[in-house]
Amino acid sequence: MGNRPSNSVNDESGAARQNTYVCFLPSTQPTRSDTVYRMVGTSLNGNLKYPLPSNLEEEKHWLQDPHYFIRHMWQSNYSAPIEDKLRDGNAKILNICCNYGAWTLEMASDYPNSHFIGVDVAPMFPSVVTKSNVRFLQSNVLDGLPFDSNTFDFVLVRLYGTTFTERDWEDKIVNEIVRLTKPDGWVELTQIDSKYYNCGPNFERWNDAYINGSICESFGRLLTSTGQISRIQHEVVISPIGSWGRRAGELGVSYTRQLSGKVKPWIISYLDITEEEYNEMMIKAEQEFNIHRTYASTHRFVGQKS
């Protein structure tokens, strides 16, 4: 079995706290001997570098751009062993599906001697950039990106797993990621699993309608199937949904509430229910979070190109 989430975690002040997040992975949660599991907001060295938002304005900003919660979840912006190369300088980094560009800009500030490019099919990223070591480009990864093969030391994709079909990943995206990565370079894929765990009956009904497969379970296989990616590491962060998980769990409820609003029209149609019935179902679902200790999981796969 894989490593289980510890019952001892560090809180926002860094102090050890026993039994705050107690979360047992059910049989439906895949566990592997080569997968590391840990709780949201905990770091491998015990230090809390990225705390939760301290006010409502900051929380609103977090809800607009998932970069900040992902950063808090992992207590890092990346897991690949590239710190020395980034600091030495002249490393070339590609962020595919960069969204608003927060990760790209933050990394460019942290590592001013390396070069960062963010690409996305929709131009949500800044149109004007003052940093000389970062640029953004509107381009669709499904059409192939306008870069030579073996260009980048590190290629990253985050949170776009369910935007594409598994066939897209298998036939186009993973191959494009590998093509663009230099030999001995690193790739990293981060995705929130669309399946929630320990759900009550109302949230289970919603989740069953929302799930469209779990691409998370395919990333390791897809990377291996290229024959060019080795040293694959798989980590999972467990994120509580509900006040049972204290501040992080409350923020998890806010994210889930936001998601349920976005997918409401589709799920109403899928379940053939009225908007009033949908709203009632979600009210009851939120009441179930603390009873069942609902949680989500976020997966990160890291591998090196041979």
Domain 77-192, CATH: 3.40.50.150
CA 267 to chain centre: 23
pLDDT of residue 90: 93
* Per-residue buried b or exposed e for 170-198, using 16+ beta carbons within 10 Å of the residue's own CB: bebbbbbbbbbbbeebbbbbbbbbbbbbb
pLDDT of residue 63: 60
Cβ atoms of 182 and 150 closer than 8 Å? yes
Per-residue pLDDT of the chain (306 residues; tens, 9 = 90+): 333 333 333 333 333 333 333 444 444 454 454 677 766 655 555 566 655 556 666 666 656 677 888 888 888 999 999 999 999 999 999 999 998 899 999 999 999 999 999 999 988 898 889 899 999 999 999 999 999 999 999 999 997 756 788 889 999 999 999 999 999 999 999 988 888 999 999 999 999 998 765 678 789 999 999 999 999 999 999 999 999 998 889 888 988 998 899 899 999 999 999 999 999 999 999 999 999 999 999 899 999 999
pLDDT of residue 19: 33
Within 10 A of 125 (CB to CB), how many other CB atoms are there?
22
pLDDT of residue 73: 80
pLDDT of residue 39: 65
Cβ atoms of 241 and 253 closer than 8 Å? yes
User: Which of 264, 251, 234 lies closest to 296, judged by CA?
Assistant: 251
DSSP, res 171? I
Cβ atoms of 199 and 294 closer than 8 Å? yes
Measured distance CA(247)–CA(133) in Å, rounded: 36
130, 198, 272, 286 from 244: Cα distances, Å = 43, 13, 32, 12
pLDDT of residue 276: 98
pLDDT of residue 4: 33
What ranges do the domains of the chain cover?
1-74+193-306, 77-192
